[in-house]
Structure 1
Amino acid sequence: MPFTITQDTTAEPEYAARCVSGDESECGAASGTHHTPRPVEEWQRKHTQETGHRRYRRNFGDYAVLQPRSDIAGLVPPAGGTT
């Protein structure tokens, strides 16, 4: 059955960054998780100003919802049914 995948608008996305600068080992300092990218970017700027570190691993997470495609006639089963 064909599905459409969309971002779940009932759940907020998550943004985070971790400093991976360092020759022998990574710094490892982390921004924490936020629901918008702005606080993460500000944390990166501040960390760079304080340490000179300029390499970060950024993470973005969200939730996805799969919905049966209703635009294909005859392929969407009734609730609890299958095709």
Structure 2
Amino acid sequence: MTRRAFRYVPFSIVQDATAEPEYEARCVSGADSECGAESGVRHDPAEVEEWQRKHTQESRHVRYRRNFADYAVMEAPAGLPLGLEPPDARVHA
């Protein structure tokens, strides 16, 4: 029988600086059904906000569903022994 020892390693979850976050909005205004107009995916939240302002000016719609997505990595603490680091998440994505 092989014995293995596992220990708690306090990894930190941090935003992956190599990938840009994504922002988008969809107009959900409407009495009977949602408008459904979409901003499309943008990498700057200000661009989505500007799209919302323009859509509101054109349509008078005021209710939006906003989505934010990013990539996260598990960051090992300094001094973690070699071999205990998590696999590269981008390889498995």
Correspondent of 1:47 among 55, 58, 62 = 55
CA distance in 1, matches of 2:27, 2:10: 40
Give the aligned length.
77
Amino acid of the structure 1 residue aligned with 2:28: V
Which 4+ runs in 1 deviate beyond 4 A? Answer: none
1:14 and 2:3 correspond: no
TM-score (norm 1): 0.84
- Gaps spanning 5+ residues in structure 2: where? 1-8, 86-93
TM-score (norm 2): 0.75
SS in 2 for 1:15: strand
Aligned-pair identity (%): 64
SS in 2 for 1:42: helix
1:27 and 2:35 correspond: yes
Correspondent of 1:79 among 58, 79, 83 = 83
User: What's the CA shift string for 1:20-67, capped at 9, x where partnerless?
Assistant: 001111110000001001111111001000100000001111110101
Amino acid of the structure 2 residue aligned with 1:25: S
Instruction: Report the Cα offset of residue 6 of structure 1.
Output: 0.6
Higher share in strand = 1
RMSD: 1.6
Q: How does 1:60-71 map to 2 (within 5 A)?
A: 60-70=68-78
